[in-house]
Amino acid sequence: MNINDELVLNIEKLSNLGFGIAKIDGFVVFVQGACPGDVIRAKITKLNKNYAYAEIIEITTPSKSRVKPFCPMQKVCGACQIQFIDYDRQLVFKSEMVKDAMRNIAGFDLEIPKTIPAPENICYRHKIQYPVSQTKVSKRILAGYYKPQSHEIVNIKYCPIQPPICDKIIEFVREKAPLYNISGYDETTHSGDLKHVVLRVSEYSGNVLVTLVFNSSQKFHRYEKFAYAIYDEFEKVSGVCLNFNSKQTNVILSNKSECICGDNFVEEKVLDKIFKIGSNTFFQVNPKSAENIFSYVKNEIGKFELPSVLDAYAGIAAFGIVVSNAAGAVVSVEENKDSIKMAEEALEINNIKNVELHAQDTAKYLSSVKRKFDITILDPPRKGCSQLSLELSLKHTKKEIIYVSCNPATLARDLKYLCQKGCTLKSIQPFDMFCHTYHVETVAVLAV
């Protein structure tokens, strides 16, 4: 096999990154845009010792699971990698991804239940982060998602997976920014003004928090004027913030923000609880699907008689607050101080008295206390938990660990460690949080 060789491939399954997988005499070939069940003619584009990448030349026999994408930009935009697959089949494939991770990484041969669908799989994405640039000659502002495997921005004017008001706000930014002498960012020269536009839309109220990320360490009058222009133009924009991030980094938001007009948060409702969400505080992008997960976790906690609960990697203490009326006492631990401040306000809004907050790293907190909890909820970032956090969680938990993960690979790694230390995996359930992408959210319950 060589670069540019053309092959006929039968696509068997999806990889954890959404590539179609074919095998030739056991040799794996990854194909972007391929659907399990497709028979394709493809050209080898990259060749490694143990695997290759190929691009589709022709789909000779389409899979029965293949559908026409409802977004005309699907092929060029990197946001919805598997929108060309029937939604019900997406759920099956996501369960298979979790199963493969459990088998290949943890050595668990498990039957994984079908992924629980999102209540809405269009207009579901309530946090939008668009990079901004501009054309070299006409200086036209561009804003959208990156093309797959590139940093070339696709200028998105209509995106069906987010609320329609997002398209209107982004179009206003594109059209009006030059009038305020605001340029788009050029990452190759690290020049220009506006790097990103971040929108947080409330499913509950429909209000929008707009954050403009500038390639600057200070505020300029033209930035403020532009913020007020956005605020005045849209009734549903409840606040506009400026974020100052002059570093050459993949991190979108720095820790330096200023609210210019309106509020620096939107309110969101999950089950019967109200939360304040800022631009730099973590909250799930799909509130309706998040409700499914919160209900699942709360039901598990409800199987015990008012247990004590540790809510680790708590963010704005969403899990701790939602499960508070099924628990005797909750301790929520989160190292981001802005998130803890939002959590404090949520406790007051919801009149909750049995949740204790700690602005601290999970491992540091557990290293400093002797108390034990009936149940520990772990909801770490994609990289998963550190081994120390897992070890301490085990030490401080009496009955169950509930592990909420957005990455099957790190989940499998951490579950393997916990089971080697004596835990028993009771259940595992995938949820579709990021519809039409290869991402999957999973909740695992372990007996200690």
- The continuous run of DSSP H or E covering 257 comes out as strand 257-262
Name the H helices within 135-220: 164-176
Q: Are strands 441-447 and 424-431 parallel, antiparallel or unpaired?
A: antiparallel
Task: Assess contact for 445 and 419: CB atoms under 8 A.
Answer: no
- Please give the Cα distance from 48 to 75 (Å, whole number): 25
Q: Which two tokens stand for residue 357?
A: 């907050």
- The neighbour count for residue 21, using CB atoms within 10 Å, is 18
Report the side by side order of strands in the sheet with 153-155: 153-155, 141-146, 127-134, 194-201, 208-214, 237-244, 257-262
Amino acid in the structure at residue 316: I
Q: Which two tokens stand for residue 259?
A: 């609210």
Q: Which of 119, 224, 206 is nearest to 168 (CA)?
A: 206
- Please give the Cα distance from 262 to 242 (Å, whole number): 12
Active site residues: 406
Q: Which two tokens stand for residue 52?
A: 């290759």
What are the backbone angles phi and psi of residue 173, rounded to the nearest 5°? -60, -45
Task: Assess contact for 397 and 87: CB atoms under 8 A.
Answer: no
Radius of gyration of the chain (CA): 23
Name the H helices within 302-433: 318-322, 337-349, 362-368, 387-395, 408-420
Q: Is 76 left (phi over 0), alpha (psi -120 to 50) or beta?
A: alpha
- The continuous run of DSSP H or E covering 68 comes out as none
